[in-house]
Amino acid sequence: MLNVKLDEGSGIVTLAPDGALSEQDFEYASSVIDPFLEKSGTPKGIIILTETFPGWESFGSLLKHFKFVREHHKKVSHVALVTDSVLGDFVEKIAAHFISAEIKHFPFDELKNAQNWIINP
């Protein structure tokens, strides 16, 4: 399950996976984010909040994740990875070559620092 929280005041979307990601998770995230994009333009940033990365339910879920990123990465200026997973540093370095948003990794207990970085880059 992917919990999606949209704070319209700050323009921050928080994605918090709770278990392996499914194709429906990314459809749900789009259903929350896309109307905000149409109404308000672009969010200030996205926070991916997970202590450890849960993975995907299936190969189809992984492909749906890539499609979600492809459709949204140019609409977001900042992505904060708030995690203790070793993937945090890896994604920060690798994803920067494929997406236009600025990416920064924060330890899981530094959510407030991630929010501040997005609001005041």
Relative to beta strand 2-7, strand 12-17 is antiparallel
Name the residue among 68, 77, 95 with its Cα closest to residue 4: 68
pLDDT band at 107 (very low <50, low <70, confident <90, very high): very high
Percentage of the chain with pLDDT > 70?
83
The CA-based diameter of the chain, rounded to the nearest angstrom, is: 37
Q: In which residue are the tokens 């109404």 written?
A: 39
37: helix, coil or strand? helix
pTM, entire model: 0.83
Q: In which residue are the tokens 């904060």 written?
A: 80
27, 63 in Cβ contact below 8 A?
no
Mean per-residue pLDDT over the chain, rounded: 82
Domain residue ranges of the chain, discontinuous segments joined by +:
2-113
pLDDT digits (tens, 9 = 90+) for 48-104: 899 988 778 888 887 887 777 777 666 778 889 899 876 655 555 566 556 677 888
Fold for 2-113, please state it: Transcription Regulator spoIIAA (3.30.750)
